[in-house]
Amino acid sequence: MKNHYSQPKGFVGRNICYAITYDDNYYGHIVGGSAVLGLMPRDVFFNIKGAAKKMELKKLNTIVNNIFYNISKVNNQYPLRNFTTEVLKKFTEKIIDDWEKKYGDKVMGFETLVELPRKGELYLKNKWVHVGTTKGFTCKRVAGTKEEKFTGKRVWDYNNLRPKLILCKKVL
């Protein structure tokens, strides 16, 4: 994860992590995780109305977010032509079964967020659709006071980040 441009510190929520190997060589990792809350363009693409409602929240469990994808060449090359595209294709095929086995939810589609200036060309080659761009804000839970923790109140710290492309793909 330290070599990835986004420098993640771990993953929250559901996730399944796959090592990328070929002929006993390690090329990296790809991870599927929980869908992001509050992505209106994604919700429109998957026909989710009001994701804050309990029934609609359940639909988010059927969307897998490709939260991490880092692949590196071995001996300055990939083993196959279009290797990175093939890995993404295999990932989407494999995680459909694994997600249902692990979490009990049938996958209806995928999402990913791509940090600009990247264009998501790898995903577009795999027939993902650019459905929109985030507003550039994220929120994370921060520690509250003892009383806030006791009552269950959540305190959020909003950080201004760069917008990200939202790419999605339906399972056919």
Tens of pLDDT, residues 22-44: 999 999 999 999 998 888 899 99
- CATH code at 107? 3.40.630
pLDDT band at 58 (very low <50, low <70, confident <90, very high): confident
Has residue 3 been placed in a domain?
no
Q: Structural domain of residue 62, as residue ranges?
A: 15-134+163-170
Has residue 71 been placed in a domain?
yes
pTM: 0.80
Asked if 106 and 100 touch (Cβ cutoff 8 Å), the reply is yes
Mean pLDDT of 145-149: 50
Asked if 66 and 72 touch (Cβ cutoff 8 Å), the reply is no
Q: What is the pLDDT of residue 51?
A: 55
Has residue 158 been placed in a domain?
no
In the chain, the number of structural domains is 1
Has residue 144 been placed in a domain?
no
Q: What is the pLDDT of residue 53?
A: 61
Flag whether pLDDT at 120 surpasses 70: yes
